[in-house]
A and B are shown apart, each in its own frame.
Chain A
Amino acid sequence: MPLQSILVSLSRRVALGVVVLWFTVTLTFAFLQIVPGDPAALLFGGDEIPTEEQLEEVRRDWGLERPVHEQYLLYIERLVHGDLGRSYQQRTEVATLLYSGVWSTVILAVAGLVLAVVISVPLATLTAGSSTLLRRFAFVFELVTISMPSFWIGIILILVFSFTLNWFPIVALDNPLSLVLPAATIALGLVGQLSQVMRESIERALKEPFILTARSRGLSDGSVRWGHALKHSYIPAATITGTFAGNVLTGVVVTETVFGRPGLGTITVAAITTHDIPLVLGVVIVSAAFFVLVNILVDLSYGLVDKRIGSSV
């Protein structure tokens, strides 16, 4: 009954996801309570002192005159209905603001992830367990990219490919070429760790007796690597990619800032610098939801690749 075990693990995952989201929401709410000062002023944000009417509006929206537990329930209830609140600085619904930036960000993140996988898989598979020059190059390349902050990778890419070589524009947003450098920045931030983790598990797999068995059947070195060993790196690599959903978020925030691209990242940074707390909370909750979703999918995919996982649950 594999379907049943899949459903069991799915519901367990979803339950954990709901808990994570609830926890995030509660955490943000708790922070609001802890921070000293008038919560209304804090929520209003900005550098100017708000008028009494403006504060009154905030208090009404958040139910600040009511007891704490009612505020909390109100907050949860609003979120359950998909209402992320209002940004008082920009005088717009938070959801609307986020929606305006989401597509540009998703395109960038997906492009970056795909590029990272496209680089890492062959790099790891070809160099695992060998002592060639390529392996040594890969080793240094990974170590260096891991040690570089991704915003600096972006700056270097701009300096070299945009300002010096003039290959890729960075300002013309409607030009698809303008996506290359930002996507490369995100990818380079992930490639090092991803290919290291993959190589490690491929190398572990290559030492297993079943690889010797496969070779004894007449398979070429390439078939052994791509046909047998690579699949064994899926779970660690997927786990890392799942955690990367969080890192991608960091990467996106940084990359959008470096390249001046509009999107969730720039919205987030602007929100923090202008103390636009409702907007910050909105970003946090939406990204937590995204993160939870990605990780549920990643966990489910384990069982598809490795049947032992489904049956042992």
Chain B
Amino acid sequence: MSLLRARESAIAPASAVPAAIAEVENLNISFPAGGEGRHVVRDVSFTLHPGRVLAFVGESGSGKSVTARALLGLVGDNAQVRHERLRILDHDYSNATQVDWRRIRGAGIGYVLQDALTSLDPLKTVGFEVGETVLEHRLKTKREIRSHVVDILGRVGIPDGERRYDEYPHQLSGGLRQRALIAAGIAAAPRILIADEPTTALDVSIQVQVLRLLKQSQEKGLAILLITHDLTVASTFADEILVFRQGEVVERGTAGDVLSRPRHAYTKALLQAIPGQQTRGKRLSPLPPLDLVRLRPPSASGGDGGDILEVRNLTKTFHSSTRHPRVAVDHVSFSLEYGRTLGIVGESGSGKSTVARIILGFEHADSGEVLIDGKPWSALPETKRRPRRHLVQLISQDPLGSFDPRHTVLRLLGDALGTLPAYRNTAKRDARSYELLELVGLERLHALRRPRELSGGQRQRVAIARALAVEPRLLVADEAVSALDVSIQAQILDVLRDIQKQLGLSILFISHDLGVVQHISDSVVVMKAGRVVEHGDVNAIFSSPKEPYTRELLNARHSLSHFRPAPVDAI
């Protein structure tokens, strides 16, 4: 419903569009040196206007970032750039030299990348980085620079600029760092700001702060080009949206139109792929469901009302010689029934991954206990736990790291199968491996590849196949879809749901992403600073959170999708 509201408000100010300050017509970019002439951007046209936001939306490799960089002449040395028109700030850049480009970079167009930790030089002070553009374009003298920078820092909401001026990026918190990066982007008062995934990798609450800051700049007349993979962010923040797919713009229109009346099948699929309350019980991807019934172990009765997992009063403190001991997990208790999915949400550092590692038996708890299938688990010595380890399997965020790089997919699956007495025989093992691959939607030819030759989604399927190979009862998915593009994330979430429905497995689903958790979980545990803040049915928690922290989290997400002041009041 929030999407509709966004659309209504987007149409309103569209009546008076100021004249364009950047025009790009039929932009084509290819990399002739990279293999067989890779064509990464095809016939893309767009315009930028003061005080308006244009968003490029697309998945990784769709060409959205390269297109934006063409505005700065920073596509790369070996790139071939062709276009019919390239006018920026009343100048023609069709045949621009390096000197021309340098004049516009920073002073005419500011550029903000994601992840300020790597986008700010770690060996330079914040003040130096913010002031660099200004000095490079000789807008201030060395003597004036300090007060100018402190002023800019204040404007982006960094308090105590005098002190921050001499600090290094690593001394700032994630939110302040991203603000400092934006400060550097607008320090020379450019009229255009390119923000390339400015909120990715930030916690929700900080995302909102950063977007609010960009919003303020826009209201002061800045033209903003926002690049994002996140349709929610784009829809609430942008006036116009261009949807990129494999180097082409497949759809364009006002934010409202694109979201509520998508014309292209790809946009439709993308929109459908966004998990949340509205997608509960539905498929996210257009692919057909898997047929896993063959895998169903005869013994898997499930559903007898018991708990597959019981976590009792877990506590874990990490000691370090240099820092204060950190309580990562603080008296955590919860349980998970057979055949259900329990989501654990929390921001980074909330202890959710440590809980997962203790459940998996990779970490010892200081006190408390984990029971699997009603029997002792965490208290067992490793040799006793080993024969039952197959019951609990991990699907991690980084499947590549969990595969031995020397082995083929076939060998990876075979090794896992080898732990079961039924598969001591190689021929049997191979046959089963091929069967597993097919069941998770991969093909036979993938069996002889090494994991690094597969795409992210394929790797995650292999990880799932390998986990299923040993007939587990509990899957622990630790940020299993966080590193994936929306459409691939949708496929993997569908696969997990198929597994659960058809095999009666229990899933412990850990994520920082509220939407994903809301989509897939039956019940939810909210964690903060090592403690369980709230625990209960997913619908109850998401519709009427009892604890202030949960409300805060939900509000932050809410304001992401209601960024524009909505004309209608919230329910």
Which residues of A approach B to under 8 Å, CB–CB? 208-210, 212-221, 223, 228, 231-232, 305-308, 311-313
Of A210, A311, A313, chain B has the most CB atoms within 10 Å of the CB of: A210
* B105 and A213 contacting across the interface, CB-CB below 8 Å: no
- State whether the Cβ of B380 lies closer than 8 Å to any Cβ in chain A: no
* B171 and A311 contacting across the interface, CB-CB below 8 Å: yes
* B122 and A308 contacting across the interface, CB-CB below 8 Å: yes
B residues in contact with A209, CB < 8 Å: 113, 115, 118-119
A2 to B122: give the CA distance in the assembly, Å.
17
Given A306-B122, A308-B168, A308-B170; A214-B322 close (CB under 8 Å): no
Of A213, A215, A223, A228, chain B has the most CB atoms within 10 Å of the CB of: A213
Q: Which of A210, A217, A218, A313 contacts B118 (CB 8 A)?
A: A210
B residues in contact with A228, CB < 8 Å: 121, 124
A residues in contact with B121, CB < 8 Å: 210, 213-214, 228
A94 to B137: give the CA distance in the assembly, Å.
62
B residues in contact with A218, CB < 8 Å: 102-107, 133, 136-137
* A-B contact list, 11 entries, CB within 8 Å: A210-B118, A212-B119, A214-B121, A215-B72, A215-B105, A216-B72, A218-B103, A218-B133, A221-B98, A306-B122, A307-B123
A305 to B104: give the CA distance in the assembly, Å.
31
Given A231-B123, A305-B123, A311-B170; A217-B132 close (CB under 8 Å): yes
A270 to B188: give the CA distance in the assembly, Å.
66
* B184 and A232 contacting across the interface, CB-CB below 8 Å: no
A83 to B489: give the CA distance in the assembly, Å.
73
Q: Which of B98, B133, B322 contacts A217 (CB 8 A)?
A: B133
A240 to B137: give the CA distance in the assembly, Å.
37
Closest partner residue, chain A, to B167 (CB atom): A307
B residues in contact with A215, CB < 8 Å: 72, 74, 105
Q: Which of B105, B168, B171 contacts A216 (CB 8 A)?
A: B105
Chain B contact-residue range equals 20 to 34
A313 to B321: give the CA distance in the assembly, Å.
10
- State whether the Cβ of B225 lies closer than 8 Å to any Cβ in chain A: no
Instruction: Quote the shortest CB–CB distance from B136 to chain A (angstroms).
Output: 5
Q: Would you give the 0/1 interface string for B45-77, flagging 1 where the beta carbon is closer than 8 Å to chain A?
A: 000000000000000000000000000101000
B residues in contact with A214, CB < 8 Å: 121, 132
Instruction: Quote the shortest CB–CB distance from B439 to chain A (angstroms).
Output: 40
Of A214, A223, A308, A313, chain B has the most CB atoms within 10 Å of the CB of: A214
Instruction: Quote the shortest CB–CB distance from B108 to chain A (angstroms).
Output: 9
* B120 and A210 contacting across the interface, CB-CB below 8 Å: yes
Instruction: Quote the shortest CB–CB distance from B117 to chain A (angstroms).
Output: 9
Closest partner residue, chain B, to A129 (CB atom): B77
Of A209, A223, A228, A231, chain B has the most CB atoms within 10 Å of the CB of: A209
* A219 and B136 contacting across the interface, CB-CB below 8 Å: yes
Closest partner residue, chain B, to A130 (CB atom): B77
A residues in contact with B109, CB < 8 Å: 216
B residues in contact with A219, CB < 8 Å: 102, 105, 132, 136
* A217 and B113 contacting across the interface, CB-CB below 8 Å: no
